[in-house]
A and B are shown apart, each in its own frame.
Chain A
């Protein structure tokens, strides 16, 4: 049964909300038209109904404002594209031509929806409003300039008035039937220039992580999406083509995923048929061919790797043979050292993926699996639902397009830390080998020379700390995802401490953060976010012990700590309990004592736990005073 048919039958039977987690899989391989059909059905679902069945569903609150485009026309494509990623959009569409009022009036119904994403759909017709009845390129240039000023003011006001919400703008395609109305080629070129300057001006408004993002639709139209629909525009007042709206909604869904920090971390590649033509086992190392299509894919993979994507190989072959071929084959762009790990063997691939994830300390939900064999893809799709599996087909020239189609590795902002990730994982592998050599775990820990420094975050730290809140799961105390602006705000009103860690294999850099509200009698740890990369070295224990001591030394009698069950962060609760925190229970029942499932743990600051002896740690609450570091260091050792 096709996925669309099943979506329709579930809807007709009234079971679509109950089956929502499965919808993602049903939409997996639908073509554009079927996906549009599914969107129409899905847009009829009330978000509350889905939440009643599945309270953990990731809801994204969205408002849609537009000029001449019809806001409601975006709702169905959004429903389909968000569902493809397991998210649920809660959409309020604005009025026709309501964009300016809706985005500036704090009392508009759209503002009351408190959107995570405030979409402002810009279209070529709205941009051109204000042209005289007959017009020249100079008129167009003036009107475009005025439009850009207006949009820049909307963006500035949004950033100021609506922290926590992201305004989403888009570049606007230049329509052929607009350009062709200028007959002389010099004027047409002037219009083209003015239009591109307008486009560049829009893109300059983009501040990912600070509340404004501009989606570039040029690549969407270049990939074949028609921008306008003259028939629907003239007769029905809906001038944008469904293909453009679908492409737009797809980019919005990728953005929503990136804002949630749901960025895939590792690309797992098949070898035979995917990176070269032929099979190593049957054809031998001289028989496999790296053609132009394979080189194109390999070049794209290398490009991803240069930006911090981990690249792994998963192949049914003999490992030594694979390594030899990677070293010696003259046509390969990717070499042995480009792969963070190589899983070669004859077992089922989903099991190999689980081992790769374990080795890298990732969940299988952080993997993207690329394989030219349909049976392998189906196996992985059914065994590991969280792993992304792009739908390749038999044409290798299309593999790169398919790999990049869903923005799996998109991120708001790439940090130096991201770029250094592959090297960090190579260190991690060296550490793992040492652990295997030293059978005594304590001796292994002592041999690492772990050093941890905790200090107030400085301005350059803030984007990385926002990224940590977005990307950490296991050691994220409340699951809160904060933008750079929100982190900055917290640093102003409370204390945000950055955690830096290093050992003899290298410096992990800024690997975590503590969000503290220090009050005279009581400190509150409102969130803790620690990268999984530091796991296994008891660094989290050292940090918490040092924090208790620092609170005591500052005169506070009690340290409270927040925790919210995200389904992935039980480790934080265990950490609190291990350090003598207990849930506060004003209701005398289950300790679930705050709004929104917030748990509050507390302990007296007296008698902190000793930090683990293999960790050298210092903590300071003042960024600039060296003396305080030593004081903090003293406190951290529990004296």
Chain B
């Protein structure tokens, strides 16, 4: 996954959201249509896409999509 933009496209497609690149740093709770269960689905989607397990505790406590992207990229 190259940039946070790619993560946002994935979120839009997989979770049926309509986010813009500018939403990368917004708190997750402030994203229109977001709920915490979507994060669980996102973890499954990201693990399938990257073929690697993610550090679930860190992803759960991440505050924005940019932070999640950093965790995915760091693995």
Contacts and interface: CB of A to CB of B under 8 A. Distances in A.
A62 B40 CA distance: 23
Contact of A73 (B13, B37, B48): B37
A455 B61 CA distance: 68
B37 A231 contact: no
Majority secondary structure of chain B interface residues (helix, strand, loop or mixed): helix
Given A33-B48, A238-B40, A44 B56 contact: no
B40 A40 contact: no
A559 interface: no
A431 to B, nearest CB: 54
Contact of A72 (B13, B16, B33, B35): B35
A234 B61 CA distance: 13
A271 interface: no
B70 interface: no
B57 to A, nearest CB: 4
A446 to B, nearest CB: 64
A70 B40 CA distance: 12
A36 interface: yes
Interface in B41-66: 41, 43-45, 48, 56-57, 60
B4 interface: no
Nearest to B18: A12
Contacts of A44: 16, 33
B15 interface: yes
B13 A242 contact: no
Nearest to B37: A72
A419 interface: no
* Central interface residue in B35, B36, B48, by most chain A CB within 10 Å: B36
A245 to B, nearest CB: 11
A235 interface: yes
Contacts of A40: 14-16, 38, 41
Given A231-B56, A235-B60, A242 B44 contact: yes
Contacts of B71: none
A236 B14 contact: no
A75 B60 CA distance: 20
A236 B15 CA distance: 18
Contacts of B15: 40-41
B39 interface: yes
Interface string A59-103: 000000000001011011000000000000000000000000000
Contact of A76 (B13, B33, B41): B41
A12 B17 CA distance: 8
Interface size of A as a range: 20 to 34
B16 A41 contact: yes
A235 B43 CA distance: 12
A207 interface: no
A328 interface: no
A381 interface: no
B16 A235 contact: no
A191 B48 CA distance: 37
A75 B41 CA distance: 13
A232 interface: yes
A435 interface: no
A212 B47 CA distance: 39
A73 B43 CA distance: 14
A36 B12 CA distance: 15
Contacts of A235: 56-57, 60
A8 B16 contact: yes
A8 B13 contact: yes
B40 A232 contact: yes
A36 B41 contact: yes
A11 interface: yes
Contacts of B33: 44
Interface in A1-49: 8, 11-12, 33, 36-37, 40-41, 44
A470 B36 CA distance: 39
Contacts of A36: 41, 44
Interface string B1-44: 00000000000111110100000000000000101111111011
Name the 10 nearest CB pairs between A and B, nearest first.
Answer: A41-B16, A235-B57, A235-B56, A231-B56, A235-B60, A11-B16, A72-B37, A44-B16, A236-B60, A40-B41
Given A33-B48, A75-B37, A235-B56, 13 more contacts: A11-B16, A40-B14, A40-B15, A72-B35, A73-B37, A76-B37, A231-B56, A232-B40, A232-B56, A235-B57, A236-B40, A236-B60, A238-B37
Interface of A: 8, 11-12, 33, 36-37, 40-41, 44, 70, 72-73, 75-76, 231-232, 234-236, 238, 242
20 contacts: A8-B13, A11-B16, A12-B12, A12-B18, A37-B14, A37-B45, A40-B14, A40-B38, A40-B41, A44-B33, A70-B37, A72-B35, A73-B37, A73-B40, A75-B37, A234-B57, A235-B56, A235-B57, A236-B39, A236-B56
